[in-house]
Amino acid sequence: MASVPPQRPERILRDSARWFSEGAALKRAARRDRRCVACSEALESRRTPYCSRLCQWRFQAGYFWDAARTYAIHRDRFTCRACARRFRVGQLEVDHIVEIARGGAPLDPANLQTLCRGCHRSKTRAFLRGRARRGGGAAPRSEGPGTFDLADWFPA
């Protein structure tokens, strides 16, 4: 079964640790200025640093995989970005556009896309085929992120 590439635990720990220093400081500043910490929209009170649930997920997405996943699915409106069909949340998976193995950012919403299970499986197969074509080894570093089969997924 195709699924989201497993996050390397040490990366999750490292990114989540930022939440308690960097994230807390940003939220403090946002409350002080009565601005949404994600979109900077003015807020009525200092009760919360978020203007909406979506902004809350968006902000937390930079620190926690669960929030990143939830944010990506809502941002993409429950629609698979490959086949453009809507699905129930249980049928959707969140994919790293540039695989973590190839240096893609694990928690950057810009590197996340919502795919249905079928499309995610095809993408994973294409990825594995590409690796086999290149000799099956680890991705060559010199290629840099973003060069893998992106044309297949975002045809010009």
Q: Which parts of this chain interact with Zn ion (CB under 5 A)?
A: 36, 38-39, 41, 51, 55, 80, 82-83, 116, 119
Residue 115 vs 139, nearer CB to Zn ion: 115
Residue 84 vs 110, nearer CB to Zn ion: 84
Q: CA nearest 108: which of 42, 15, 31?
A: 15
CB of residue 140 to Zn ion, shortest distance in Å: 29
Residue 2 vs 12, nearer CB to Zn ion: 2
CB of residue 15 to Zn ion, shortest distance in Å: 21
CB of residue 153 to Zn ion, shortest distance in Å: 11
Contacts of 113 (CB under 8 A, 6+ apart): 72, 76, 81, 94, 95, 97
Residue 52 vs 147, nearer CB to Zn ion: 52
The pair phi, psi for residue 92, each rounded to 5°, is -105, 150
Contacts of 39 (CB under 8 A, 6+ apart): 51, 55, 58
For residues 5 and 111, the answer to whether their CB atoms sit within 8 Å is no
Burial (Cβ within 10 Å: 0-12, 13-18, ≥19) of residue 19: middle
CB of residue 136 to Zn ion, shortest distance in Å: 27
